[in-house]
Structures are given as structure tokens and as C-alpha cells.
Amino acid sequence: ETGVTQTPRHLVMGMTNKKSLKCEQHLGHNAMYWYKQSAKKPLELMFVYSLEERVENNSVPSRFSPECPNSSHLFLHLHTLQPEDSALYLCASSQGEGFLGNEQFFGPGTRLTVL
């Protein structure tokens, strides 16, 4: 596979469930990102990982927990979510240690619905 892949593509979960989103990049990049895209709202940067360490955390609620075990994989662990967390969650990667001036390559996203 090439580029940035995300699984699952669609996820429906209840507020008491625990689930995880997975992102994998095959581009040899060293920075990875999670974004949230809600209807009618600008894209929101949630987390930035550079060389497997979190370097940005933009006031995201603790019910979202990221994990970056290596430079190719990024997870977003979800627990006790709220209906307003329903959104498209996008993963991206870039070369340059989390430098936000670099071009980012995006995955297709996971469409999350919280019931």
C-alpha cells in the first residue's frame, strides 16, 4: 500500500464503548497528525507527533487518547464519547519533525458516528 491509510473507514459506537482508530503511513515520514472535521466547522488540529513524541495537544478532551508506537503508526483511542464527537477524523503525515510549514499527506478519514 502507498500513502496514508486509515481504518476503519466508518465506525458507529455508543457512548459507553471503547474503540480505536488506526492510521498508517508508508511514506517514511517522521511526523503524524490527527484532525477532526465536523460539519460546518473548520478543520481542527487535535494532536501532533514528531519522532514518536507528542508535540502538540490542542485542548482536546481526555476521552480522546492518542498513541504513536513508531513513526509509521498512529492510533486514536476513544472512550465515553459524546454525540457531538461525531465527525470525520483525518490522519496526516509529513517529513520534518512536526514542522507545520511542511506539506502534509492525508488519509481518507474515519467517519465516526456516536449514538
From residue 19 to residue 58, the character string flagging contacts with another protein as x (rule: CB under 8 A) and all else as - is ---------------------xxxxxx--x------xx--
Instruction: Give the three cell numbers for residue 60.
Output: 482536546
Count of residues in contact with another protein, rule CB under 8 A:
25
Give 13: exposed, middle or buried? Use CB within 10 Å, 0-12, 13-18, 19+. middle
The least distance separating another protein from the CB of residue 51, rounded to whole angstroms, comes to: 15
Residue type, 28: G
Q: Which of residues 63-102 bind another protein (CB under 8 A)?
A: 88, 90, 92, 98-102
Tell me the CA distances in angstroms from 54 to 65, 74, 89, 91, one per residue in order.
Answer: 11, 11, 18, 14
Residue numbers of the site for another protein (CB under 8 A)?
4, 40-45, 48, 55-56, 88, 90, 92, 98-109
